[in-house]
């Protein structure tokens, strides 16, 4: 993904030089014409890379990480169920993967760690006006969904968390473009350590092209659904339902 994207950009820069020489006489030559058309294709490719939903969020160097990754929202779900899981170091925690899937899954932390891992140093942007850079690692959500086999009727992925707001779990949802984006991972480490409780232990979503509130912490369930109707108040997330935050919070 990254390599092919770099390839596209490099190709466009090189063909840009050819385009500048584009007088008629040069264009008549079949070889040049081929390069020019190739250049146009590459230009379209670059446009896609820059504007499309599958573009990558910026990644940072180790030394750019924030010394402290500020927690926000729930810092400890504090329910009896969560307290028991925490007391056992999350050995009994399972992530349920269900809804419109061919093979429902129940994944332990060990199962998540056994899948191919992606590590990324990214900037988290909270709508309240602060940012922090941290390194996250975990399996790509795409791999988990492929293992479960999302059905053709699935349109959204819904994340249900362990913490309660007014008695109902915090929840969030994303569409399949973000669900299958390469930087969308189920993170179980932050800066090379198990996730702190304040940052969503034992596992939280990282969906790097969107604002902080989409990054559901304390994951308990993931469900593939055809529609967001009938889930919470139908707007696709706790904040969307309650304070009118946008469902698509692209950055």
Ligand X SMILES: Nc1nc2c(c(=O)[nH]1)N[C@H]1C(S)=C(S)[C@@H](COP(=O)(O)O)O[C@H]1N2
State the residues that interact with ligand X by CB under 6 A: 70-74, 126, 161, 163, 170, 198-200, 212-213, 215-218
- Beta pairing, strands 185-187 & 156-165: unpaired
- CB of residue 60 to Mo ion, shortest distance in Å: 19
Query: Residue 52 and residue 180: Cα distance in Å, rounded?
Result: 14
Residue 146 CB, nearest approach to ligand X (Å): 25
Question: Cα dihedral sign for 23, 24, 29, 35?
Answer: positive
Give whichever of 39 and 212 is closer to ligand X, judged by the CB atom.
Answer: 212
> What is the Cα–Cα distance from 180 to 83, expressed in whole angstroms?
32
228: left (phi over 0), alpha (psi -120 to 50) or beta: alpha
**Pick 180 or 218: Cβ nearer Mo ion:** 218
Query: Which residues, numbered 50-89, are part of the site for Mo ion (CB under 5 A)?
Result: none
Residue 140 or residue 199: which is nearer to ligand X going by CB?
199
Candidates 202, 212, 236, 237; binder of Mo ion (CB under 5 A) is: 212
| Paired sense of beta strands 219-225 and 95-99, if any | parallel
Residue 26 engages Mo ion in binding (rule: CB under 5 A):
no
Under the binding rule (CB under 5 A), the answer on residue 200 touching Mo ion is no
Q: Any contact of residue 126 with Mo ion (CB under 5 A)?
A: yes
Of all residues in the shown chain, the one whose CB is closest to ligand X is: 73
Beta strands in the chain (DSSP E): 95-99, 105-107, 117-126, 130-139, 156-165, 168-175, 185-187, 189-190, 193-194, 204-206, 219-225
Binding partner of 199, given Mo ion, ligand X, none, CB within 5-8 angstroms per partner class: ligand X
How many Å apart are CA 58 and CA 245, to the nearest integer?
A: 24
Scanning 90-98, 124-132, 165-173, 236-244 for contacts with Mo ion by CB under 5 A, the matching segment is 124-132
Q: What residue 82 binds from Mo ion, ligand X, none (CB within 5 to 8 A, per partner kind)?
A: none
Q: Is 176 in the site for Mo ion (CB under 5 A)?
A: no
Cβ proximity to Mo ion, 39 vs 73, nearer residue: 73
Per the listing, tokens 């969020």 go with 57
Helix (H) or strand (E) holding 2: helix 2-20
User: What's the min distance (Å) between Cβ of 250 and ligand X?
Assistant: 15
Quick one: CA torsion of 248, 163, 59, 62, rounded to 10 degrees? 170
By the rule CB under 5 A, 213 interacts with Mo ion: yes
Stretch that binds Mo ion, among 16-24, 46-54, 55-63, 206-214 (CB under 5 A): 206-214
């Amino acid at each position: 993904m990254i390599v092919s994207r770099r390839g596209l950009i490099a190709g466009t820069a090189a063909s840009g030089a050819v385009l500048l020489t584009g007088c008629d006489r040069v264009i008549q030559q079949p070889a040049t014409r081929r390069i020019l058309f190739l250049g146009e294709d590459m230009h379209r490719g670059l446009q896609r890379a820059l504007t499309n939903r599958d573009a990558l969020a910026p990644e940072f160097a180790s030394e750019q990480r924030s010394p402290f990754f500020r927690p926000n929202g729930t810092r400890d779900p504090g329910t009896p169920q969560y307290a028991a899981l925490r007391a056992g170091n999350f050995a009994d925690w399972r992530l349920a993967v269900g809804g419109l899937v061919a093979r429902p899954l129940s994944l332990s932390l060990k199962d998540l760690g056994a899948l191919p891992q992606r590590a990324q140093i990214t900037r988290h942007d909270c709508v309240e006006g602060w940012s922090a850079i941290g390194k996250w690692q975990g399996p790509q959500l795409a791999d988990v969904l492929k293992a479960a086999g999302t059905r053709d009727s699935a349109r959204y992925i819904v994340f249900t968390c362990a913490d309660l707001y007014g008695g109902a779990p915090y929840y969030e949802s994303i569409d399949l473009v973000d669900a299958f984006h390469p930087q969308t991972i189920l993170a179980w480490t932050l800066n090379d350590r198990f996730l702190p409780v304040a940052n969503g232990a034992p596992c939280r979503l990282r969906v790097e092209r969107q604002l902080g509130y989409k990054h559901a912490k304390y994951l308990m369930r993931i469900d593939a659904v055809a529609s967001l109707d009938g889930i919470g108040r139908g707007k696709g997330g706790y904040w969307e339902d309650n304070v009118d935050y946008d469902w698509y919070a692209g950055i």
